[in-house]
Amino acid sequence: MTGRPAPQTRALLHAIGYRGLAVCAQGAQVYDADSGRLVHSVRMERELAETALGKIEAELGQVYAGVNQDGSDGLMLMEPGFVTPPPTLPSVRVRRRGELWSRPICKVLLMARGRTEDELTSVARAVVGDLVNVVMAGPGAVELQPRGLSKAYGLERAAALLGRTGADTIAFGDMPNDIPMFGWARHGVAMANAHAELLAVADEVTCANTQDGVAAVLERLYGA
């Protein structure tokens, strides 16, 4: 389960020898690591993306955008002015915003100079929350997707393919984009260094990411 799209996740899955299903792109994609194909994918229409960006800029002034293209080979495109914090992911710099829409996309990434991710998320939700899903996924990661999409949406579809339900599921997370997933799963576990919004709704808090918090819970439940 990750906010990153399948093309930015594939190398990691291969490196650890994982061959199952991976929910990617904030729930928009379900990727089969064994076959290397998407078994479920939801696109974001260009008109919706442009409308949302226009409304946000009318409220805030200049914002900078990137997109993740749809598909198992989709690229990350960034317009001039858009930057991401380390660790940087493979991306392509385009010359103007119109080039972001050269192929179908699955989500839009936003940044605004002088605004924190929490501030940008709050304003975007107030302005376009009735049009799109606004996600704060971490440093430099405020994203727009079609309404109804979330990590819970993707997790539910992956679970169904495996013959499972939320009652069979434990979810781990550290950011506000994990909140819907915690609501769907039977048990939601937040990292000790998680965002305050997620800590407030967690069923359990484990060690930080840097202290193997996920492993600590799994070993307790299923043995070392």
Is 9:31 a contact under the CB 8 Å cutoff?
A: yes
Residue 87: per-residue pLDDT: 63
Return the structure tokens found at 183: 């609501």
Domain 165-224 of CATH type 3.90.1300.10: no
Residue 223: per-residue pLDDT: 81
pTM of the complete model: 0.91
Going by their DSSP bridges, the two strands 64-69 and 37-41 should be labelled as unpaired
Which residues of the chain carry a pLDDT beneath 50? Answer: none
Q: Where are the domains of the chain?
A: 46-146, 165-224
Task: Find the Cα–Cα–Cα–Cα dihedral 92, 97, 101, 103, rounded to 10°.
Answer: -20
Kindly report, residue by residue over 7-35, the tens digit of the pLDDT: 999 999 999 999 999 999 999 999 999 99
Residue 86: per-residue pLDDT: 64
Q: For 190, phi and psi rounded to 5 degrees?
A: -100, 145
User: In the CATH hierarchy, which fold is given to the domain comprising 46-146?
Assistant: 3.30.1240
